[in-house]
Amino acid sequence: MLARIDLRGSTPTLAELRRALPRGGTDVNAVLDTVTPVVHAVAETGTPAALDFGEKFDGVRPASVRVPAQVIADALAGLDDQVADALRESINRARKVHSDQRRDTTRTQVVDGGIVSEKWIPVRRVGLYVPGGNAVYPSSVIMNVVPAQEAGVGSLVVASPPQKDFGGWPHPTILAACALLGVDEVWAVGGAQGVALLAYGGTDTDAADEPNAVLDPVDLITGPGNIYVTAAKRLCRSVVGIDSEAGPTEIAILADDSADAGILASDLISQAEHDVLAASVLVTDSAELADAVDAALEQQVAATKHRERVTTALSGQQSGVVLVDDVEAGLAVVDAYAAEHLEIQTRDAAAVADRVHNAGAIFVGPYAPVSLGDYCAGSNHVLPTSGSARFASGLSVQTFLKGVHVIDYDEAALREVADKVVTLADAEDLPGHGDAVKQRFAGSTRS
């Protein structure tokens, strides 16, 4: 089922390795023609355009963009007890991890009388996109909202597509997750029009509740979504910050012959069930293990609920088995691939994991499956895809903070370095810069 790439006995360069590895991805440019008019129309007219496009793409028009408080309360009241318990557990664990990510102001005494501090200021208002096209992701509400709240973001809005089966409001499980997290501003708008409305704002002309009619634009949009959402994020990034352009999900597993083929197969399937474009890649130095995983996949795929989607994802060009000479060579492969999720299923897994450079998140040993990270590890599941883990991080408290330098020099401290500033300003042919310093000391009578 999985294609094989045999790198045994070869020593590819990094460029050759990157070319050889399975990689799919989506062509965001291909939908820009569809998405550009949507973004422009919403930027110009706001809510009416957003609702029109929602009606076209989602087949339903909610009574207002802002979801009434009673609808959110009813969603929580109707939530299954076990699901509510599991969501609370997920929230508590995520809070534990993300509260440890808070940053303190640093204060550096550069010289006597010269101090540079770095303050971490939360983004003022954030829009959190929660997908709602093919599946419902209350876990994504948690993974977006918790780090934003822990960063101290004061104003949060969750946007999610309107659902035909639920009167045009977002899915009740998403609304209930918002309620559990204390988020009371939720917009029933998704896709490109949802991203554009978050970026440009509008007025909720149909909202019954007058104070809620203003839909303020946000300063930053985070959260995963499909190709239309990603294209809109790209188009709106001139007016709003974005976390990343998320591609389809990926799992890579580095395994040796100590790994359990049945476990590996189920972990490869678990990510493949997200999307036909999802990537599942096994890197191993054991051809016997690769054969056993193939056999386990045959059995497990036949029994899994979303077998068609899984089969398409596993047999796509983005998935495969990479055979290497040893774990050392496997480490080079997983670093070149830079997976969103990387499992290490080898002997001494923690030591091997310690040597990985590039991965969105690393799952160590047989008892840390990616599904644990998707829901209840406490870690964040919004992670860099398409190889961007070489330079990017997953969502965290840091995503929602801005580092601001505060420069506080007194007269003596400036006087001490004034010559150097003037010299550097002259060297860059910017004498006005030097004059701004000289002006402060020219004929100064200040003591």
- Class of residue 76 by CB neighbours under 10 A (exposed 0-12, middle 13-18, buried 19+): middle
Q: Which is nearer to ligand NAD, 301 or 370 (CB)?
A: 370
Catalytic residue among 340, 343, 411, 416: 340
Q: Is 317 in the site for ligand NAD (CB under 6 A)?
A: no
Q: Is 379 in the site for ligand NAD (CB under 6 A)?
A: no
- Cβ atoms within 10 Å of 19's Cβ, excluding its own: 11
Q: Was 163 annotated as part of a binding site?
A: no
Q: Is 345 in the site for ligand NAD (CB under 6 A)?
A: no
Which range binds ligand NAD by CB under 6 A, 224-232, 255-263, 303-311, 434-442?
A: 224-232
Q: Is 131 in the site for ligand NAD (CB under 6 A)?
A: yes
Q: How far is the CB of 130 from ligand NAD (least distance, A)?
A: 7
Per-state percent for the chain, helix, strand, coil, to nearest 5 = 45, 15, 35
What CA–CA distance (Å, rounded) separates 253 from 361? Answer: 12
Catalytic residue among 171, 185, 250, 341: 341
Q: Which is nearer to ligand NAD, 22 or 330 (CB)?
A: 22
Residue list 71-100, contact with ligand NAD (CB under 6 A): none
Residue 340 known to be catalytic: yes
Q: Is 188 in the site for ligand NAD (CB under 6 A)?
A: no
What CA–CA distance (Å, rounded) separates 278 from 23? Answer: 10
Q: Is 161 in the site for ligand NAD (CB under 6 A)?
A: yes
β-pairing verdict for 401-409 and 4-6: unpaired
What CA–CA distance (Å, rounded) separates 180 from 264? Answer: 34
- Class of residue 216 by CB neighbours under 10 A (exposed 0-12, middle 13-18, buried 19+): middle
Q: Was 419 annotated as part of a binding site?
A: no
* Amino acid code (one letter) for 319: S
Q: For the sheet containing 114-122, what is the strand order?
A: 106-111, 114-122, 401-409
Q: Is 57 in the site for ligand NAD (CB under 6 A)?
A: yes
User: Taking CB under 6 A as the rule, which mask of x and - marks residues 272-291 in contact with ligand NAD?
Assistant: --xx----------------
Q: Which is nearer to ligand NAD, 251 or 290 (CB)?
A: 251
Nearest to 250 by CA among 316, 162, 346, 153: 316
Quote the Cα angle for 95-99-102, to 5°: 150
* Amino acid code (one letter) for 314: L
Q: How far is the CB of 351 from ligand NAD (least distance, A)?
A: 28
Nearest to 273 by CA among 247, 304, 299, 303: 304
Residue list 233-262, contact with ligand NAD (CB under 6 A): 246, 248-249
The answer to whether 39 and 232 are in contact (CB under 8 A) is yes
Q: Is 34 in the site for ligand NAD (CB under 6 A)?
A: yes
Q: Is 382 in the site for ligand NAD (CB under 6 A)?
A: yes
3-state secondary structure of 38: helix
Residue 343 known to be catalytic: no
Q: Was 171 annotated as part of a binding site?
A: no
Q: Was 374 annotated as part of a binding site?
A: yes
Which range binds ligand NAD by CB under 6 A, 44-52, 130-138, 165-173, 410-418?
A: 130-138
| Binding stretches for ligand NAD (CB under 6 A) | 34, 57-58, 131-135, 137, 140, 161, 190-192, 224-226, 228-229, 246, 248-249, 274-275, 381-382
Catalytic site positions = 340-341
